[in-house]
């Protein structure tokens, strides 16, 4: 029975590695670890990860293959999320170890609803992923999603540190205040010409004009709310602001307002 084999594995693991711990500490770790492993007995997880020998390894990507994990969180819930995070972490470690002088194939890591698949190693991995020739694409609705996923007392610092490792960011229409403020502050401020005109009428008519430079946000936070979201009502056009660090996109600016055609591949 798979349950018996799993229990035997757990008992042997704890006997070999945790024998020096107190009984209470060991029982807590035993319960938590066993709870995770028992979820692997459910199909299709059991057949994918436990029943047969693996036919897929992270190193397959070095030969040009694309690995797609089809374990939707809405269907498989926590076990689907845990398995994807587990494989993602193994993949990240394997790709960081490769010798780019022998195999320099560009790779990518793509995650939609990325807040479901974050882990503590992400910030460390992102700091060196570029030198490993790996592009990371994370898609999420807003920044609070990341904060809720990371949790803890230092979640704000960890999320900001993680976002700081992403060199290119694209912001679409959003109704979240925190995300819009972050995007506006990230793009930064610029100088605008402020024109003033005054008129007066006492004994004689007078008129004066003045111009001054005013420093203000290049893109106001409220502007992100009104960006086009595609569909027939917007002729299938989606608007967004792209920001890139260390690279000028237009007129020596590090940001650019862009239009995306939803029917590009139609």
Higher-scoring residue by pLDDT: 211, 93: 93
pLDDT tops 80 at residue 209: no
Query: In terms of domains, do 157 and 184 share one?
Result: no
Looking at the DSSP assignment, which residues form a beta bridge with residue 242? Answer: 170, 256
pLDDT digits (tens, 9 = 90+) for 87-102: 999 999 999 889 989 9
pLDDT tops 80 at residue 103: yes
Of 133, 151, 166, which one is at a domain's C-terminal end? Answer: 166
Of 166, 182, 199, which one is at a domain's C-terminal end? Answer: 166
Query: In terms of domains, do 243 and 157 share one?
Result: no
- Determine, yes or no, domain membership for 17: no
Domain of 230 in residue numbering reads as: 167-190+218-266
Report the predicted TM-score, pTM, of the whole model to 2 decimal places: 0.78
Of 92, 79, 88, 82, nearest to 39 by C-alpha is 79
Higher-scoring residue by pLDDT: 131, 169: 169
Query: In terms of domains, do 142 and 93 share one?
Result: yes
**What's the mean per-residue pLDDT of the chain?**
84
Query: In terms of domains, do 116 and 178 share one?
Result: no
List Cβ neighbours of 73 (8 Å cut-off, separation of 6 or more): 80, 81, 113, 116
Q: Which residue has the tokens 């004994």?
A: 203
- Determine, yes or no, domain membership for 14: no
Query: In terms of domains, do 177 and 262 share one?
Result: yes
Query: In terms of domains, do 70 and 154 share one?
Result: yes
pLDDT at 33: 72
Mean pLDDT of 202-215: 72
DSSP state of 72: -
Query: In terms of domains, do 150 and 79 share one?
Result: yes
- Determine, yes or no, domain membership for 36: no
pLDDT tops 70 at residue 1: no
pLDDT tops 90 at residue 136: yes
Query: In terms of domains, do 67 and 92 share one?
Result: yes
Contacts for 134-137 with beta carbons within 8 Å, 24 or more apart?
134/95, 134/106, 134/107, 134/108, 134/109, 135/106, 135/107, 135/108, 135/109, 136/108, 136/109, 136/166, 137/108, 137/109, 137/110, 137/111
Our measurement of the distance from residue 189's CA atom to the centroid of its chain's CA atoms, rounded to an integer in Å, reads 25
What's the number of domains the chain is made of?
A: 2
How many other β-carbons are positioned within 10 Å of the β-carbon of residue 262?
15
Residue 214 class from Cβ within 10 Å (0-12 exposed, 13-18 middle, 19+ buried)? exposed
pLDDT tops 70 at residue 60: yes
pLDDT digits (tens, 9 = 90+) for 154-175: 888 888 888 988 989 999 999 9
Query: In terms of domains, do 180 and 153 share one?
Result: no
Of 71, 70, 90, nearest to 81 by C-alpha is 71
Query: In terms of domains, do 152 and 176 share one?
Result: no
Query: In terms of domains, do 185 and 100 share one?
Result: no
């Amino acid at each position: 029975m798979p349950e018996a084999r799993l229990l035997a594995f757990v008992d042997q693991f704890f006997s070999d590695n945790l024998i020096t711990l107190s009984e209470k500490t060991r029982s807590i770790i035993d319960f938590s670890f066993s709870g995770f492993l028992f979820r692997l007995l459910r199909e299709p997880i059991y057949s994918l990860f436990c029943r047969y020998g693996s036919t897929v390894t992270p190193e397959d990507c070095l030969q040009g293959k694309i690995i797609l994990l089809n374990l939707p969180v809405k269907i498989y819930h926590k076990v689907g999320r845990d398995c994807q995070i587990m494989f993602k972490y193994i993949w990240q470690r394997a790709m960081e170890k490769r010798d780019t002088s022998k195999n320099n194939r560009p790779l990518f890591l793509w995650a939609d609803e990325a807040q479901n698949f974050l882990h503590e190693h992400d910030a460390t991995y992102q700091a060196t992923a570029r030198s490993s020739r790996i592009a990371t694409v994370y898609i999420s609705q807003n920044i609070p999603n990341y904060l809720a996923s990371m949790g803890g007392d230092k979640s704000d610092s960890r999320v900001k540190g993680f976002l700081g490792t992403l060199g290119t960011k694209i912001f679409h229409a959003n109704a979240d205040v925190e995300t819009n403020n972050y995007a506006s502050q990230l793009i930064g401020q610029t100088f605008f010409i402020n024109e003033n005109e005054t008129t007066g009428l006492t004994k004689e008519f007078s008129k004066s004009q003045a111009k001054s430079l005013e420093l203000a946000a290049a893109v106001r936070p409220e502007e992100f709310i009104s960006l086009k979201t595609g569909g027939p009502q917007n002729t299938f056009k989606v608007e967004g602001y792209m920001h890139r660090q260390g690279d000028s996109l237009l007129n020596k600016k590090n940001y650019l307002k862009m239009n995306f055609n939803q029917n590009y591949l139609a």
